[in-house]
């Protein structure tokens, strides 16, 4: 018996509103989006009633390898025959193997790992490590950032997520992303770490200049602060390299990875950190633990994710699809000059910046009606995020671009009718 479609859509929505989130149901009803995911396969997500959508959200990179990737599912099934989640109280074969594999693809001496379950959890671990190592409290992050909803991660993000929960953990300050002069003024002898999403997603996929991270690295080194790169969304091939920071030629002290490591089937996340930071955790080996972090079933899934990622053909394919979208975006800019302000792209981490804050939500609705599932950037709603699975093929990419053209046309017409 299928586990999908046991209840009609109306009943699912009713139960979800009653027991999970009435606010989400109201939001989607007001937006005119009637989506309850059913079947999913490859780049496609199907509504429970059968409508097919190309997933250009990918849950922020969870579905880098598509939905229900056969190789990943096979790895999980194989692990289920022998393993469970394991125990954090003991040495683990599978955590050790995965950690070695993550170290092998990480830059410089970033070769140690703290495992977790969610992105916020491993951002918390990174901040705790920075404070423990430096003996300092200050954390500098970007205005409009998003790093998760947990305790140490929350104050590093936009106040819309943290304001209701004040008083927050103290010691945080924010600077405009990409502004080295502001960063230079903010980082001092009290700063434990500078924390940036390598390319901030929720801020609108803002791509910094190629020399930006050289400057950030210099400032951190001069003041004795750590550089933490949040690669929850940008890592694991999304930007055309193992890590987005690799494309800038800079070695951070800490890399946070999450969504794509799961292969879309088993939650597992990690804080990767430099060997020179290890003394604090060596001296305090039980000061940060996670019962489900690095679950051994999840380790086997993540190892298969890395098997796929490290095949040279994989990143070559990402590069080829990057070119397809780059050419397509140029065409979209020429066809919609009054609406499109800017196209943003680093690999297959992409976005369309439009003329006002109404455009992103309108594009999400237009996408639902044109076979595309995409979302707007919550901290800049003039931006529509385009984050397809990395396995997308050229014909599928062409379909996305054709749909984006139709979505932009509908948005233009709708905006005109509202004036």
Q: What per-residue confidence (pLDDT) applies to 322?
A: 98
Q: Where are the domains of the chain?
A: 19-57, 70-310, 312-356
Q: Provide the phi-psi class of 20: left if phi over 0, else alpha when psi is between -120 and 50, else beta.
A: alpha
pLDDT of residue 162: 87
pTM: 0.97
Q: How far apart are CA 130 and CA 109, in angstroms?
A: 16
DSSP 298-346: HHHHHHHHHHHHHSHHHHHHHHHHHHHHHHHHHHHHHH-TTTEEEEEEE
Helix axes 93-104, 296-310, angle to 10 degrees: 30
- Give the model's pLDDT for residue 160: 85
CATH 3.40.640.10 is right for the domain spanning 70-310:
yes
Decide: helix, strand or coil at residue 227: strand
Predicted local confidence at residue 1, as pLDDT: 81
Average pLDDT, the chain: 97
Q: Convert the pLDDT of each residue in 244-288 to its tens digit.
A: 999 999 999 999 999 999 999 999 999 999 999 999 999 999 999
Task: Determine contact, residues 234/351, Cβ cutoff 8 Å.
Answer: no
Confidence of residue 161 (pLDDT cuts 50, 70, 90): confident
- Three-class secondary structure of residue 353 per DSSP: strand
**Model pLDDT for residues 202-224, shown as the tens digit of each residue:** 999 999 999 999 999 999 999 99
Average pLDDT over residues 286-315: 97
Q: State whether the Cα torsion 120-126-127-132 is positive or negative.
A: positive
**pLDDT recorded at residue 288:** 93
Per residue in 9-41, pLDDT (tens digit) is 999 999 999 999 999 999 999 988 899 999 999
355-400: per-residue pLDDT in tens? 999 999 999 999 999 999 999 999 999 999 999 999 999 999 999 9
168-188 pLDDT, tens digit each:
899 999 999 999 999 999 999
Go through 258-275 and write b for each residue having 16 or more CB atoms within 10 A of its CB, e for each that does not: bbbbbbbbbbbbbbbbbe
């Amino acid at each position: 018996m299928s586990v999908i479609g046991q209840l009609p859509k109306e009943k699912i929505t009713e139960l979800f509103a009653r027991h999970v989130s009435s606010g989400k149901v109201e939001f989607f009803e007001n937006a005119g989006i009637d989506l309850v995911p059913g079947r999913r396969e490859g780049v496609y997500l199907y509504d429970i009633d059968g409508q097919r959508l190309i997933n250009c959200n990918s849950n922020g990179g969870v579905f880098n390898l598509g939905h229900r990737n056969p190789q990943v599912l096979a790895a999980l099934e194989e692990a289920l025959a022998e393993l469970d989640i394991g125990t954090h109280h003991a040495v683990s074969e599978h955590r050790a193997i995965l950690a070695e594999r993550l170290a092998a693809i990480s830059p410089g001496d970033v070769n140690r790992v703290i495992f977790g379950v969610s992105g916020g959890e491993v951002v918390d671990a990174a901040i705790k490590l920075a404070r423990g190592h430096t003996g300092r409290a200050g954390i500098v992050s970007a205005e409009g950032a998003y790093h998760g909803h947990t305790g140490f991660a929350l104050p590093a993000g936009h106040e819309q997520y943290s304001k209701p929960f004040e008083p927050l953990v103290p010691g945080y300050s924010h600077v405009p992303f990409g502004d080295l002069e502001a960063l230079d003024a903010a980082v001092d002898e009290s700063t434990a770490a500078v924390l940036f999403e390598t390319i901030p997603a929720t801020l609108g996929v803002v791509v910094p200049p190629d020399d930006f991270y050289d400057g950030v690295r210099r400032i951190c080194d001069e003041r004795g602060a750590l550089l933490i790169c949040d690669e929850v969304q940008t890592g694991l091939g999304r930007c055309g390299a193992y890590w987005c920071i690799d494309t800038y030629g800079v070695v951070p002290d800490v890399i946070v990875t999450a969504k794509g490591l799961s292969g879309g089937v088993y939650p597992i996340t990690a804080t990767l950190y430099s060997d020179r930071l290890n003394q604090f955790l060596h001296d305090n080996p039980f000061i940060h633990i996670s019962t489900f972090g690095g679950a051994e079933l999840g380790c086997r899934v993540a190892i298969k994710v890395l098997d796929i990622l490290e095949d040279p053909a994989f990143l070559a394919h990402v590069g080829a699809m990057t070119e397809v979208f780059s050419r397509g975006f140029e065409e979209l800019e020429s066809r919609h000059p009054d609406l499109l302000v800017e196209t943003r792209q680093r690999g297959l981490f992409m976005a369309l910046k439009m003329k006002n804050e109404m455009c992103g939500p309108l594009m999400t609705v237009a996408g639902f009606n044109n076979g595309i599932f995409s979302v707007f950037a919550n901290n800049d709603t003039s931006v529509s995020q385009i984050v397809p699975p990395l396995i997308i093929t050229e014909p599928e990419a062409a379909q996305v671009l054709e749909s984006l053209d139709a979505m932009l046309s509908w948005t233009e017409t709708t905006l005109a009718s509202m004036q």
